[in-house]
C-alpha cells in the first residue's frame, strides 16, 4: 500500500507540470478551503480534485491509500465537533451529549477540509519526485535568502522527510507482521492494552529510524555535502506559460467554491 509522500512514476500532464506550479496550486487550495462555508463549495473542490486524479493517471486504489491513514483522525475530530457543539437546534439528546444541526454542519466542514487537504497533498507528492519538490520549494522560498534564511537546508530536510515516510511505513508493516507472527495482538483489549502492545513496534522502529539517519548523514558527508553553498543543479526547471494554468485554475475553482 502506498502512503502519503510516496512518488508514483507514470506519464501524465500533471507529472509534466513544473513542481512550483503544483505547489502554488495546492497552496491556493489550502488557503481557499478555510474560506469555503458551504457543502456545495466543498463538493466543487472535491469534483475538481477528482478530475485532477483522473488526469494524473494515479490509480484510485493508490490515492485512497493516501487518505486511509487519516480517516480515524477525521472521524474522531468530526464526532467531537458534532457531539460537543453548543450552537444550533438540538436534534438528538442523550444524557450530557447533544447533537445539534450546527454541530453536524461544522463536523462535515471539518472532515471535508482535512480530507481535501490531505488528498491535494497526496496528489502533489504522487505526481512530483522528492528532488523536484525540494527544488520547487527552494525556488519559491529563494527571496528569503536575502534574510539569511537557510532555504536550501529547509528544502533538503523536507525532501529527506518525504523520502523517509514510505520507508518507515514499510518497516513498521514488517515489524508489525513479525510481532503478529509471534502471537502479538494489536486489536484486542482496551486502549491502554493496545497502546502497550505497540511498544514492541515503536522501539525497533525508532532505533531503525536513527540508524538510517546516521547512515544517511555519513553518506552525505562522504560525498562532500556542505549545504547549498556553491551547489548547482543537473537540470534547471523552466516555468513555462502552460505551468501557470495550474495555479490559475486552482484560483478559479476556489473563487467559485467560496462564492457558492
CA-to-CA distance for 26 and 206, rounded, in angstroms? 31
Tell me what pLDDT residue 99 has: 75
CA-to-CA distance for 6 and 29, rounded, in angstroms? 21
Q: What b/e string do you get for 51-77 counting C-beta neighbours within 10 Å, with b at 16 or more?
A: ebbeebebeeebbebbbeebeeebeee
Cell matching residue 51: 478530475
Query: pLDDT tens digits, the chain, 260 residues: what are they?
Result: 556 667 888 889 999 999 999 999 999 999 999 999 899 999 999 999 999 999 999 998 888 888 887 888 888 888 888 777 777 777 667 766 677 778 888 888 999 999 999 999 999 989 998 888 888 888 888 888 888 888 888 888 887 887 787 788 788 888 888 888 887 776 676 667 777 777 888 888 888 888 988 998 898 888 887 776 666 776 777 777 788 889 999 999 999 999 98
Strands (E), 5-146: 90-94, 97-100
pTM: 0.78
For the chain, which residues make up each domain, given as ranges?
13-259
Amino acid at each position: 500500500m502506498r502512503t502519503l509522500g510516496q512518488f508514483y512514476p507514470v506519464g501524465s500532464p500533471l507529472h509534466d507540470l513544473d513542481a512550483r506550479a503544483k505547489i502554488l496550486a495546492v497552496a491556493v487550495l489550502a488557503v481557499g478551503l478555510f474560506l469555503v462555508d458551504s457543502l456545495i463549495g466543498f463538493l466543487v473542490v472535491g469534483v475538481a480534485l477528482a478530475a485532477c486524479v483522473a488526469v494524473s493517471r494515479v490509480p484510485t486504489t493508490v490515492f485512497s491509500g493516501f487518505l486511509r491513514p487519516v480517516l480515524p483522525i477525521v472521524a474522531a475530530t468530526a464526532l467531537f465537533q458534532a457531539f460537543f457543539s453548543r450552537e444550533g437546534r438540538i436534534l438528538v439528546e442523550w444524557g450530557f451529549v447533544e447533537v445539534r444541526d450546527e454541530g453536524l454542519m461544522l463536523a462535515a466542514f471539518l472532515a471535508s477540509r482535512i480530507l481535501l487537504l490531505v488528498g491535494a497533498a497526496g496528489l502533489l507528492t504522487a505526481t512530483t519526485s522528492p528532488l523536484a519538490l525540494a527544488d520547487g520549494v527552494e525556488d519559491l522560498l529563494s527571496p528569503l535568502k536575502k534574510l539569511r534564511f537557510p532555504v536550501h537546508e529547509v528544502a533538503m530536510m523536507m525532501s529527506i522527510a518525504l523520502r523517509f515516510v514510505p520507508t518507515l511505513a514499510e518497516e513498521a508493516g514488517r515489524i508489525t507482521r513479525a510481532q503478529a507472527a509471534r502471537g502479538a495482538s494489536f486489536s484486542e483489549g482496551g486502549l491502554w492494552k493496545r497502546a502497550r502492545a505497540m511498544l514492541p513496534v515503536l522501539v525497533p522502529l525508532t532505533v531503525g529510524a536513527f540508524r538510517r539517519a546516521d547512515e544517511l548523514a555519513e553518506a552525505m558527508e562522504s560525498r562532500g555535502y556542505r549545504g547549498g553553498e556553491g551547489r548547482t543543479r543537473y537540470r534547471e526547471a523552466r516555468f513555462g506559460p502552460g505551468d501557470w494554468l495550474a495555479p490559475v485554475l486552482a484560483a478559479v475553482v476556489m473563487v467559485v467554491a467560496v462564492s457558492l
